Structure 1
Amino acid sequence: MSKPKAVVIYSGGMDSFTLLNRVIHDGYDVYALTFNYGQKHVKEVEVASTVCKQLNVPHKILDISPINQLMQSSSLVGSIDVPEGHYQADNMKSTMVPNRNMILLSLAIGYAVDIEASKVYYGAHSGDHVIYPDCRPEFVHAMNDVAKIANYEPISIETPYLNATKGEILKDGLSMNLTYEHTWTCYNGRQKACGKCSACVERLEAFADNNATDPVEYE
């Protein structure tokens, strides 16, 4: 009997890396989908490719970078410096990429319909709720309703970590004996992680919460 198909939006970060492995572990035939939307931290696309080759997972990298012309207000794609600090700080709002997850989910849903997959997974979690409206439960539930009626085939949007912290996500990954050297979280696109942007700060807190050592190199 063939496995059910699922599309996983796979950024290359630690959350989506854990999610990718969780969906594989749960018995799905996984198709990974990674987007280059012009993000400064495009290194995450490179590590995503490495992981999918290691796992022998079908992987599409979609270049939608021209859309960053419409999103210059975000420090992740525009000329604004990436802020430092914790996600709770107001200045982190500049890291919001306008409408990003609606765009990415729409494309992933189309891909799922095309390959006859019934589910699309993405790694929204509770740590993102404060700053990112497109990671909040109300957004996920509304998009799920749309995904069920937008095509002849209803697609389910799955967010198993929606109410989990980054530390809890890492705990799940460690329970699967995952290692995180081939993940990229830093919002800056330099050779080593900065350790100061909100993404790095939250990642380091997650490892500390689990009494684990982050294998990624920091400046």
Structure 2
Amino acid sequence: MGRGARSLMVDTSKKAVILLSGGLDSATVLAMAQADGYDCYTLGFDYGQRHDSELRAALRVVAAQGTHEHKVIRLNLDAIGGSALTDGDIQVPEEATSDGEIPVTYVPARNTVFLSIALGYAEVIGANHLFIGANAVDYSGYPDCRPEFIQAFERLANVATKAGVEGAGIHIHAPLMTMTKGDIVTVGTALGVDYGLTITCYQADDHGGACGRCEACRLRKAGFEDAGIADPTKYS
């Protein structure tokens, strides 16, 4: 996002932790939070994912959008596997998932783990707001991308933390929840997000080239088409 597009007034009393993967959605969430005046601290995870080029994409987004130093937490979710994104023996599907079916790209408990660590980081830096790019419209059927999950986690956060019990409380924001991918692209473009810096592909190559075939690529491509905006994605 161009620096001129960000809110000129950053309220340091509105500290927020932004889960930033390096993908289209999280880059948009960061831009939206900045435009609303939040003082943003970005957090990413090296969790054993096969598409680790997204980690480099997150650094590019932070450099362009001007936040505090980006923090990366290392986890070993590949030690338990169970997902095409963390287990090399499970192939990333290139066909659409059937309605009501949770695809093999779902990483067991990923958003629960990520938000839990973000919650601890928020308490350390004195932030009362957490932002996540969960979406219940153009998504792949993941159970931890639904409003019910976000609401339940916020309730948990406010009974499990000092900030919730003694402080101003914890607020979990999922501003993309009811937006289509086209809506997201439109909003992010208006805020100056450079989507050419981001990676969405489940199996991007080491140079950040997207496969163009996985479900994440198809949703991203459709989003740019629906928004009527040129797709800057680099395909391998």
TM range (shorter): over 0.9
**1:77 aligns to what SS in structure 2?**
coil
What CA deviation, in whole Å up to 9, does each residue of 1:136-195 have, x standing for no partner?
Answer: 111111001001111111211111111111111111112213221100000003131011
- The 1:214–1:4 alpha-carbon spacing in structure 2 relative to 1, beyond 3 Å, is same
Instruction: Note the residue ranges of structure 1 that are not aligned, 5 or more in a row.
Output: none
Residue 34 of structure 1 pairs with residue 60 of structure 2: no
SS in 2 for 1:31: strand
- Equivalent of 2:233, from 209, 216, 219? 216
Using structure 2 for the length normalisation, give the TM-score: 0.87
Aligned to 1:147: 157
Q: Distance in 2 between matches of 1:89 and 1:77?
A: 23
Alpha-carbon distance in structure 2 between the residues aligned to 1:211 and 1:91: 30
In 1, are the aligned partners of 2:14 and 2:39 still within 8 Å (CA)? Answer: yes
Q: 1:169-180 to 2 correspondence within 5 Å?
A: 169-180=184-195
Distance 2:97 2:128 in 1: 33
For 1:147 and 1:170, locate their aligned partners in 2 and report how far apart those are by CA, in whole Å: 30
Q: How does 1:40-51 map to 2 (within 5 A)?
A: 40-51=50-61
Task: Answer with 47-56 or 29-38: which moved more.
Answer: 47-56
User: What is the RMSD of the two structures over their aligned residues, measured on CA atoms?
Assistant: 1.7
The corresponding residue for 2:73 is 62
* Residue number in structure 1 paired with 2:3: none
Q: TM-score, normalised by structure 1?
A: 0.93
Mapped contact 1:85–1:201 kept (Cα < 8 A)? no
- Tell me the distance in 1 between the aligned counterparts of 2:140 and 2:234: 28
Any conservation in 1 of the 2:140–2:215 contact (CA below 8 Å)? no
Unaligned runs of 5+ in 2: 1-10, 165-169
What is the distance in 2 between the residues matched to 1:8 and 1:116?
Answer: 14
The answer as to 2:131 corresponding to 1:114 is: no
The residue type equivalent to 1:122 in the other structure is I
Which secondary structure state, in structure 2, belongs to the residue aligned with residue 199 of structure 1? helix
Instruction: Report the Cα distance in structure 1 between the residues aligned to 2:131 and 2:12, rounded to whole angstroms.
Output: 19
User: Which AA in structure 1 matches 2:180?
Assistant: T
Q: Does 1:188 align with 2:198?
A: no
Q: How big is the shift at 1:129?
A: 5.5
Report what 1:18 is aligned to: 28
Show structure 1 runs of 4+ deviating over 6 A.
Answer: none
Change (3 A) 1:197 1:90: farther
Whether 1:126 aligns to 2:136 is yes
The CA distance in 1 between the partners of 2:235 and 2:224, in whole Å, is 14
| Count of residue pairs the alignment pairs up | 217
- Of 146, 160, 172 in structure 2, the residue corresponding to residue 157 of structure 1 is 172
1:200 is matched with 217
Q: CA deviation at 1:25?
A: 0.9
**Letter of the aligned partner of 2:131 in structure 1?**
Y
Shift of 1:115: 0.3
**In structure 1, C-alpha distance between the alignment counterparts of 2:30 and 2:98, rounded to whole Å:** 27
